[in-house]
A and B are shown apart, each in its own frame.
Chain A
């Protein structure tokens, strides 16, 4: 992708007018519109998994916006964390619970008008804040401004205390998740039996247990163990 941006030419700080935008600025706006559109579809679609996939488009678009602002490192972190992990986790959760193909009749929450008001208020606040803060300031996106080195330097020179505080917070969340998943200390879950699939029932036929002999591909697992005694008994016979 960055090949294309390199080909689009350097950012020119000379053209400082909102009325004659550069190519990069136009692309930035177009991608922004696409992000907004896919985000809107993500919250309004009636199909659960489609919502998650539109979220992929929105988050990927955000990564492109970071790239256009020359914040390369942040862009790849966005892709790695949000697309590669968070969305995959969301999809995983959806598939584990209920994700019918087609419309989900209960996809609409009764809170949606409240949610709309909150979203509009938050967006209004943020936009007002940004416009007020950077009214006509022009930030020169020179080469290397958002490089890994620049990001690392500012993170570990000037912002190291918030960074460490955040990592302690995340560690606490991690420990909390482990504690919660252990079932509140009521002992550990029974260990899975060796050599069998852990699925209790075959999918789609409720109530019928798996017949033990054909439990899975591992039913043949004892096979390698069988020749071993035979092999150990043969040498004495030969002697």
Chain B
């Protein structure tokens, strides 16, 4: 792999990182509106408001960048970057198609992805603490509690796939994929996707940013581009979690079409899952904090352990 190739792959990941979350965001605007019997954005750009998020971006860039007087300036300003960058790095390791169609094949790719995504939490904690605002602090605390609880079922469900495939490398897992994995790993898929939603703090797991109680949690004091970065990190997170679920549990590039069109399957599955994320947001009310914790510890973790046992038994039986 020479330097030019490396640069090209990084640039491709950056382009995906800058466009796909916007597409998901626009889809959310429109899908949510139609599910609620509205039209959503209709004017920006002309055709069904396609440029609404571009206009939002321009608006955010024009706003004044405010740091509260009592805040810890440097930590406050650094937090959005710490929250956003991990998702960009994760995108590099997600395989899109067969034969090396991946930013960088990492040997322990599964661990890499989960580890780097975990770092993004620190950015939200930094934002919550450094804002010198009690609502922000509450939001930060809820974020931390939620992530500590949901990290465990997520890792356990991912470990089940690694056991089935016998490797931690994401392209390796897809190479080993068989169609019967989908029913076999169905419980794991549910646990992983749900825990991923909670990790992103998407509704119904949006207690950390519950706007009717604590304004906007850790992001309360943010304005302008820094606030936009937090929003972007949320949508990039949807992309990453959907793509990971597609790769780990739905077979990624495998599909009826020939392997050359494998990337199409990956993208299709990713966007189908992103649609489910939006759908769940419109469907379910917010879980209360104690319900949230009870769901993680008494439902998801036992389910993940059941999946691990099932994977182990069947793996031994068929080998």
Contact = CB atoms under 8 A, between A and B. Distances in A.
Interface string B114-126: 1110110110011
Contacts of A77: 111, 115
Interface string B133-166: 0100110110011011001000100000000000
A1 B122 contact: no
Interface in A171-199: 192, 197-198
Contact of B1 (A7, A92, A99): A7
Contacts of B112: 76
Interface stretch (A18-26, A82-90, A133-141): A82-90
Given A76-B115, A88-B122, A6 B6 contact: yes
Interface string A85-101: 10111011001100101
B129 A99 contact: yes
Contacts of B115: 76-77, 79-80, 83-84
A132 to B, nearest CB: 32
A99 B112 CA distance: 31
B70 A101 contact: yes
B125 A91 contact: yes
Given A49-B75, A56-B122, A101-B70, A216 B134 contact: no
A203 B2 CA distance: 57
Contacts of A95: 125, 128-129, 137, 140-141, 144
Interface string A181-224: 00000000000100001100001100000000000111000000
A182 to B, nearest CB: 14
For B71, B89, B144, the residue with the greatest tally of chain A CB atoms inside 10 Å of its CB is B144
A128 interface: no
Dominant secondary structure of chain B at its interface with chain A: helix
Nearest to B120: A84
A53 interface: yes
B64 interface: no
A223 to B, nearest CB: 11
Contacts, number: 119
B107 A84 contact: no
B59 interface: no
Interface string A1-18: 111101100000000000
Contact of B129 (A3, A79, A91, A198): A91
B111 A88 contact: no
A203 B134 CA distance: 7
A104 interface: no
A72 interface: yes
A7 B3 contact: yes
A147 interface: yes
B212 A217 contact: yes
A19 B125 CA distance: 44
Contacts of A85: 118, 148, 151
Contacts of B213: 197, 216-217
B106 to A, nearest CB: 6
B175 interface: no
Contacts of B9: 3
A88 B114 contact: no
A88 B89 contact: no
A50 B132 CA distance: 14
Contacts of B122: 53, 56, 83, 87-88, 91
Given A88-B147, A92-B145, A216-B213, A72 B108 contact: yes
29 contacts: A3-B103, A4-B6, A7-B2, A7-B3, A49-B72, A49-B75, A72-B107, A73-B107, A73-B168, A79-B115, A80-B155, A84-B151, A88-B147, A89-B148, A92-B145, A95-B129, A95-B140, A99-B129, A101-B70, A101-B130, A102-B72, A147-B108, A148-B108, A148-B111, A197-B213, A197-B288, A198-B289, A217-B210, A217-B286
Given A3-B103, A79-B118, A88-B148, 17 more contacts: A3-B6, A3-B104, A4-B6, A7-B3, A72-B108, A76-B111, A77-B115, A79-B116, A91-B144, A92-B148, A95-B141, A101-B72, A102-B72, A148-B111, A148-B167, A197-B213, A198-B290
The 8 closest A-B pairs by CB, nearest first: A84-B118, A80-B115, A79-B115, A76-B111, A92-B144, A217-B212, A76-B115, A73-B108
